[in-house]
Amino acid sequence: MLFKRLFFYLFTTLIMPYIATFLWIILFSLSSFGQEVKINGAYLSLEKDTIDYGDILINSDGERSINMINTGNEPLLINVCEGSCGCTVPKCPDMEIFPGDSNKIKIIYDTKRRGIFNKTITIKSNAINNTVYIKVIGKVTH
Protein backbone atom coordinates (compact mmCIF):
# COMPACT_ATOMS: atom_id res chain seq x y z
CA MET A 1 0.00 0.00 0.00
CA LEU A 2 2.81 2.38 0.87
CA PHE A 3 4.53 1.56 -2.40
CA LYS A 4 1.38 2.45 -4.38
CA ARG A 5 1.04 5.79 -2.60
CA LEU A 6 4.71 6.62 -3.12
CA PHE A 7 4.50 5.68 -6.80
CA PHE A 8 1.31 7.72 -7.28
CA TYR A 9 2.85 10.74 -5.53
CA LEU A 10 6.06 10.58 -7.56
CA PHE A 11 4.20 10.06 -10.83
CA THR A 12 1.78 12.97 -10.31
CA THR A 13 4.36 15.46 -9.03
CA LEU A 14 7.45 14.63 -11.05
CA ILE A 15 6.53 12.81 -14.24
CA MET A 16 3.04 14.08 -15.10
CA PRO A 17 4.06 17.75 -15.62
CA TYR A 18 6.64 16.65 -18.23
CA ILE A 19 4.09 14.51 -20.05
CA ALA A 20 1.57 17.38 -20.03
CA THR A 21 4.18 19.82 -21.37
CA PHE A 22 5.19 17.38 -24.08
CA LEU A 23 1.56 16.89 -25.14
CA TRP A 24 0.97 20.68 -25.30
CA ILE A 25 4.04 21.12 -27.52
CA ILE A 26 2.84 18.38 -29.87
CA LEU A 27 -0.68 19.82 -29.94
CA PHE A 28 0.45 23.35 -30.83
CA SER A 29 2.96 22.08 -33.39
CA LEU A 30 0.33 20.06 -35.19
CA SER A 31 -2.22 22.87 -35.16
CA SER A 32 0.11 25.23 -37.07
CA PHE A 33 1.71 22.57 -39.28
CA GLY A 34 -0.84 22.53 -42.12
CA GLN A 35 -1.43 26.27 -42.42
CA GLU A 36 -0.30 28.12 -45.53
CA VAL A 37 1.48 31.44 -45.42
CA LYS A 38 -0.63 34.00 -47.27
CA ILE A 39 1.26 36.46 -49.46
CA ASN A 40 -0.56 39.70 -50.16
CA GLY A 41 0.82 40.92 -53.46
CA ALA A 42 2.87 39.47 -56.29
CA TYR A 43 5.86 37.28 -55.40
CA LEU A 44 8.58 36.34 -57.88
CA SER A 45 9.83 32.79 -57.32
CA LEU A 46 12.71 31.42 -59.39
CA GLU A 47 13.46 27.81 -60.24
CA LYS A 48 17.04 28.48 -59.10
CA ASP A 49 19.13 31.55 -58.36
CA THR A 50 22.30 30.50 -60.20
CA ILE A 51 22.88 29.56 -63.82
CA ASP A 52 26.06 27.52 -64.07
CA TYR A 53 27.36 27.17 -67.61
CA GLY A 54 30.21 24.97 -66.42
CA ASP A 55 32.94 24.71 -69.06
CA ILE A 56 31.61 26.07 -72.36
CA LEU A 57 33.47 26.31 -75.67
CA ILE A 58 34.38 29.67 -77.15
CA ASN A 59 31.82 30.90 -79.73
CA SER A 60 29.28 28.25 -78.69
CA ASP A 61 25.61 28.80 -77.90
CA GLY A 62 25.42 30.95 -74.77
CA GLU A 63 21.64 30.91 -74.42
CA ARG A 64 20.05 29.53 -71.27
CA SER A 65 16.69 30.02 -69.59
CA ILE A 66 15.32 29.90 -66.09
CA ASN A 67 11.72 29.31 -65.00
CA MET A 68 9.90 31.84 -62.88
CA ILE A 69 6.48 31.74 -61.26
CA ASN A 70 4.26 34.29 -59.56
CA THR A 71 3.47 32.61 -56.25
CA GLY A 72 1.66 35.67 -54.91
CA ASN A 73 -1.98 36.65 -55.24
CA GLU A 74 -1.68 39.72 -57.50
CA PRO A 75 -0.30 40.15 -61.06
CA LEU A 76 3.49 40.44 -61.37
CA LEU A 77 5.05 43.04 -63.66
CA ILE A 78 8.81 43.16 -64.24
CA ASN A 79 10.14 46.72 -64.50
CA VAL A 80 13.91 46.16 -64.85
CA CYS A 81 15.78 43.18 -66.24
CA GLU A 82 19.48 43.86 -66.74
CA GLY A 83 22.86 42.17 -66.68
CA SER A 84 25.89 43.45 -64.81
CA CYS A 85 27.71 44.02 -68.13
CA GLY A 86 27.09 43.92 -71.87
CA CYS A 87 28.27 40.33 -72.16
CA THR A 88 25.26 39.03 -70.18
CA VAL A 89 21.92 39.93 -71.71
CA PRO A 90 18.68 38.82 -70.03
CA LYS A 91 15.27 38.87 -71.71
CA CYS A 92 12.37 39.00 -69.26
CA PRO A 93 8.67 38.80 -70.13
CA ASP A 94 7.17 42.24 -70.73
CA MET A 95 3.60 41.22 -69.90
CA GLU A 96 1.86 40.70 -66.58
CA ILE A 97 2.27 37.30 -65.00
CA PHE A 98 -0.91 36.37 -63.16
CA PRO A 99 -0.94 34.53 -59.83
CA GLY A 100 0.05 30.89 -60.31
CA ASP A 101 1.33 31.47 -63.85
CA SER A 102 4.90 30.91 -64.93
CA ASN A 103 7.21 32.18 -67.64
CA LYS A 104 10.85 32.00 -68.66
CA ILE A 105 13.73 34.43 -68.38
CA LYS A 106 16.13 33.98 -71.29
CA ILE A 107 19.81 34.70 -70.64
CA ILE A 108 22.42 35.04 -73.37
CA TYR A 109 26.09 35.09 -72.41
CA ASP A 110 28.62 36.23 -75.03
CA THR A 111 30.95 33.26 -75.41
CA LYS A 112 33.49 35.16 -77.54
CA ARG A 113 35.59 35.98 -74.46
CA ARG A 114 37.75 33.27 -72.95
CA GLY A 115 38.06 32.76 -69.20
CA ILE A 116 36.09 32.42 -65.99
CA PHE A 117 33.02 34.61 -65.60
CA ASN A 118 30.84 35.54 -62.63
CA LYS A 119 28.01 37.92 -63.57
CA THR A 120 24.77 39.07 -62.00
CA ILE A 121 21.34 39.64 -63.46
CA THR A 122 19.11 42.08 -61.60
CA ILE A 123 15.33 41.79 -61.84
CA LYS A 124 13.13 44.51 -60.36
CA SER A 125 9.38 44.19 -60.21
CA ASN A 126 6.23 45.16 -58.36
CA ALA A 127 6.56 42.01 -56.23
CA ILE A 128 6.93 41.92 -52.47
CA ASN A 129 10.51 40.74 -53.08
CA ASN A 130 10.96 43.64 -55.50
CA THR A 131 14.63 42.98 -56.37
CA VAL A 132 15.84 39.48 -57.25
CA TYR A 133 19.35 38.51 -58.36
CA ILE A 134 20.46 35.64 -60.56
CA LYS A 135 24.13 34.63 -60.61
CA VAL A 136 25.60 33.56 -63.95
CA ILE A 137 28.86 31.63 -63.67
CA GLY A 138 31.06 29.46 -65.84
CA LYS A 139 34.26 29.23 -67.84
CA VAL A 140 34.72 29.79 -71.58
CA THR A 141 37.44 27.51 -73.00
CA HIS A 142 38.77 26.84 -76.46
Name the pTM for this structure: 0.70
pLDDT tens track for 97-112: 999 999 999 999 999 9
Contacts of 114 (CB under 8 A, 6+ apart): 58, 140, 141, 142
Contact 103, 68 (CB under 8 A): yes
**CA 64, 70, 76: angle at the middle one, nearest 5?**
100
The answer on pLDDT for 85 being more than 80 is yes
d(CA 138, CA 128): 30
Q: Is 90 exceeded by the pLDDT of residue 56?
A: yes
Q: What is the pLDDT at residue 128?
A: 94
Beta bridge partners of 89: 108
